[in-house]
Structure formats: C-alpha cells, structure tokens
Chains A and B, each alone.
Chain A
Amino acid sequence: MKQIKQVLGGELRKYTMVIALVALILIFHIASGGKMITPSNFQNLLSGNAYVLILAIGMLMVIVIGQIDLSVGSVSGFCGMVMALTATNLNWPWWAAVLCGLGIGVLIGAWQGFWVAKLGIPGFITTLGGMMIFRGGVIWISKSISVPAPAELKWFGAGYLPEWGPSFTGMNNSTLLLGIIAIAALAFMQLRKHKRTSELKGGNEPLWPVVTRIILGAVVIGYLTWLFGSGRPGTSFPIPGLILVILVIIYHTITQRTRFGRHIYAVGGNKSAAALSGVNVKKTYFLTMLNMSFLAALAGIMFVGRSTAAGPSDGNGWELDAIASVYIGGAAVSGGVGTIMATMVGGMVMAVLNSGLMLMGVGADKTQVIKGLVLLAAVAFDVYNKQPGHVSITKRLFSTKDSAAKEGSPAAKES
C-alpha cells in the first residue's frame, strides 16, 4: 500500500471523489445496459456540461476568497444575448460579436468587483443585485424573444475537431494527436520534476514511482483518447471540451503557480493576515469577481452556440449548478480551501449523475432529488473526514496500521 501512495504522490484523501466518480460511471454503465461509457455519451458529457464547468472554475476562485457570485447565470444569459443581438440585428461578423459579448462580461465583472472591493458590499448582496439587473437586462434587450445565433458559433458550443490523415488508425486523427501530446507532456513534466527533486535531494530518489505514474497516466489518457476518437465519423474530442481543458490548464496554473493564486487563498484563509503579508486584498477581490463574470460571458456564449439561439431564460439557475460543483469538490464555505481539479471532479459527478439517470429514463423530478442528496452526502462526507478524531475513509481503505499511528490528529495537540 505504501507503493500506491508513492505512485499517487502523498495524500490519498484527495482521490476520494475521483474514486466516487469512477464508481458512479461504472454503476451507471451497468445499470443502463452499457450506454454510459460510449464515445458519443462521453462527447455529450463534455459538450453538454462545459458551460457549467467553466462557470465552476470562476466560482471556485470566488468561493476561495470567501465570497459567492449569484449573478453568473444572469450574466451568462446577458452576454450570450448581447452576442446574438449584435450578430443578428447589427450584422456584425461573428467574431466581433463574440468579442463584444466577452467585453461586456469584463465590464460587468468590473462593475461587480467595484461594489465588492471598493465599497465593501458583500458579494452575496452585490451579485444578488446583479442577478436581478442582468436577468432583467436579458429580457429587456431581447424583448423576451429568442434570437438565432450565427451558424459559426455552433462549432464552439457543439463542434468537433477536423478529420484528416490516414484511416488505418481507426479513430479521429485530431483526437489521436491530442492524446499523444497529452501523454508526451505528462511524461516530460514528470521526468523533469523527478530530475529536479533528485538534484535537490542528492540524486537518490527512486525512479520507479515516476515511471509507474507515467504508465498509468498514459493508459488512462490513451483509453480516453480511444473512447473520444472512435465515435461516429465526423466526431472527435468535442471543441467545448477542448476549450474547457485549455481553461483548466490555465486556471490551474494561475491558482497554484502564481502570486495572484496564492493571494486568493491567503485572502480567503485569513484576510487580516493576508493584508499584513503585503497582499492587496481589494485588488484580489476585484480581479476575482471580474474574472468570474468574464468566464460567465464565455460560458453563456458557448451555450448559445450549442443551442443555436440565445433565449431570454438562458442561464436560469446555472449559478447553483456551479456552486454545487465547487462544494462537491470539497471547497470550504468559509473560504480558503478548494482546487480547480477537485471542482472539475465535483462538476463531473453532477454531470454523470444527470446523464446516467437520463439514460435510465429517470424523470427530472427524481433526478433533482437524487442530485440534492448527493450534494449533501458529498459535503457531509468531507466534513466527517476533516473532523478531528475520525480516520478518513480513504485512509481506512488504503492505510496500514503504522501510517495511521504516525499522523496524529490535530486535536491531540493543545492550542
């Protein structure tokens, strides 16, 4: 078991949700008679949920700084509508319309950030206001009528990568190329990291965990590549999924590897301590709120692409889906805790539940009930695991006695 730990890199606890997700997929695959793990269903999972997951990226950052954004659904709807209207009614080229929609998103973000950062209005209230303002705005500018979107946008919301090259590969070659790049990147980064750690520690780090990690990663990526690439001809890894992956990489880097990212966690963990460490708290609030609305605009535009039209009720309730993803991903309500990766897993848990229950023909009513229960269960599980005195369930599954004894619970020490 120690070997497993070495391969996965420390804390097994963070894999709890991943295990739950895999289990969920398998259960649904069996229960639906083999309809879950298919190329088209996985493509749908990404295309159909990319917008929520993109919102969840921004929402994670907002929740980490200890705020909340209730307006994202309305902002998504508003920006999508602005984009559709400029393209259809003003006859702007599609790319100009998209830029306009994103620009409006940034402006809205600056507006919300102004109230939160400069005036110190709690995010909850600021964005509750924003929720109403921009929902009203959508209905106002659209006159409550759906507006068709430029055809090019469908590519962003529901498109696929091009087909090219030889057919003997048996799959979409663009997807294959992506998979190869991903595996190569994984191997490169792992090896580089290993090289630098062993330089640091005097060259005695064992190589086998790294190699095992690369092989395991390659198998998973390879399998997914094959799954996405071998669907109906003309389909591939979906464009919205690709946009999502790129965003996840960018935002993972921002949150984990930049000063701004550290500042987000510092402000959320202890605002006063952060201020005394030289963090500009207001600026951090402002940029995080601004970023949220920008991502909301992007999500809204992608959704319009998938729907082929912008509707007056676009975005209704999306904020709640995004918030649920973040909390299932283990973020703390009080702020300071949570990662993009875990949030994505949380979002996928919701998406897989939705999809699996639909495949089984369960109605929207019961689906809602089940999703609600899962949200509660996931957060309760997290809280239980973090409580002093409880040995986490993952640890119970994987650990041997001595490792449990070594890591004492914090409660044992006096404050």
Chain B
Amino acid sequence: MTNDAQTWRAWLTSERPASRRQARLGRAYAAWSRFADNRLAMAGLFIILALLLVAAFADVIAPYSAVTDGDLRTARLLAPSAEHWFGTDDQGRDIFARLVHGSRITLFVVILVAVIAAPVGLLIGTVAGYAGGWVDAVLMRITDIFLAFPRLVLALAFVAALGPGIVNAVIAIAITSWPPYARIARAETLTLRHADYISAVRLMGASPARIVARHIMPLCVSSVIVRVTLDMAGIILTAAGLGFLGLGAQPPSPEWGAMIASGRRFVLDQWWVAAAPGVAIFIVSLGFNLLGDGLRDALDPKAAGQ
C-alpha cells in the first residue's frame, strides 16, 4: 500500500514531468498540499462541506417541517428550548428546521450567482484587457454603467420587472455582481499581456481568441474565484436586503435572508428569530472566506509571502 502511495507521490511531485498531464496534475497536487497545510483554509472547507451535507440531508435532519408545522396561537415566538433548539418564529414554525431547509436555498443562490456572474465578468474583463482600443473602451463603459448604478436600485428594478421569486432575485443579483470581476480580470490581463511568453505564443501564430481563452483566462481564473468566494456573504446579504424591501424569496420559503428581514421586528426582545439565520449566514460566509483565502494562498504562492 505505502509503496503505491509513495510511487504516486513521487510521480506527482517529480521535477521532470514526462507529459503535460503529469505536469498539470502535479501542479494541482502541489496546490492541494499547500492548501491542506493551511489549517484555517481546511476549516473553511470543512464548513462548506458541512453546508453541502446539511442541504443534501435536510429532510432527515430537520425535526419539524419548515413550512407547515407550528400553531399560530400557542407556539409563536417561543424562546430556544429542548423542543425548539433555536426557538420559533412569528408564525410558530421551528427555526432550526427552517434553517436546515434554507441551506438548500442559500446554496442555490450562491452557486447560481457565482456561475452566472463570474464567467461573464471574466470574459468581458479579459477580452477588454487584451483587445485594448475601442473594444476595451466600449466594454469598460458598459461595465462602468453597471457599476455606477446604485446596486440595490438595479437589483430592485430587475426583480420588479421580472417578477418576485428567488430565481429572479438571483438573476438580478448576478447582473449587478459581475462588474467587479470584469475589472479584476481586466487589471490582471493588462499586466499579463506584455509578458514574454504571451508574446512568444503570439509569434507562434496563435489567434487572439486562442491566446485569451487558453493562456490569459486561466491565469485570471484564480483571482476571480478568490474574489467570488469572498463575495459570497455579500451576495447572501443582498438577497436579504431584497427581502427587506419585499422582493426576495416568496413566503413561506425559509430563505435565510428573508428570515432575517422578517425577524428584524423582534430584534429587541425575541432576538433569536433574527440571530439564528444571522449566525448561519455568518458561519457560511466565514467558511467561504477562509476557503477563498486558502485558495488564494495555495494557487499563487508568491502572494502567500515568504
């Protein structure tokens, strides 16, 4: 067994890889071991994995239904106790159950926004940075217009136009989220495009599209990913902000942001109604942040310092 493992490790960490695949896997392994050494990053990973598990097994974990159980007259705004670990909300529903089911929605929101906003931002940023000239100017103007907009106004407007519901809210948030990624990607591209090896590839006859797609983008991906994970908390809170203004998840959906928004009326006396989802959001954001930091340290060793 150990012999096998040792030969694998030797193969991955070899200083003279025999094939491109070996080199790529070797780099990935090196990044992973740097990541694994970072305890905080592992904590972040652990939190995210826990989130995934909770979301997957929500039905099993939650002791009550998130939507139907709860008596308005008798079970309203109960303090945390043995029957209700995090107490009940203003409709008598168990908060812990709602938190657990809400994790699915949180994951959904976060993944969808990342999947929409990051690639869009990356594409626009790298194309703008590499092409330069009027392409750059036009794309950056479009980016500026989106950036210049009061973010909540834009999100509000889109949600109002598209109709209520969590999916539309997600699209609205994504549409307002991509500009920073575009700027980051463009900034990186600007510094990269004069590098020697880019010039070399260009001399070899690669088309601009190929250069951008296969050489520049991969180098920008890591910083965009890092930025995306750091933005996760902001995304969840923007969804909460939309809920605050009445245009987020549809009731009785146990979306964490909506739970905070509706719990704010009780913040002074029944603090647990807003505190529970607040703590949940905090832990998940913490996890994403630690993960993001760890990724950045692992993927770009120079930035990690001595």
**Are A and B a genuine interacting pair, yes or no?**
no
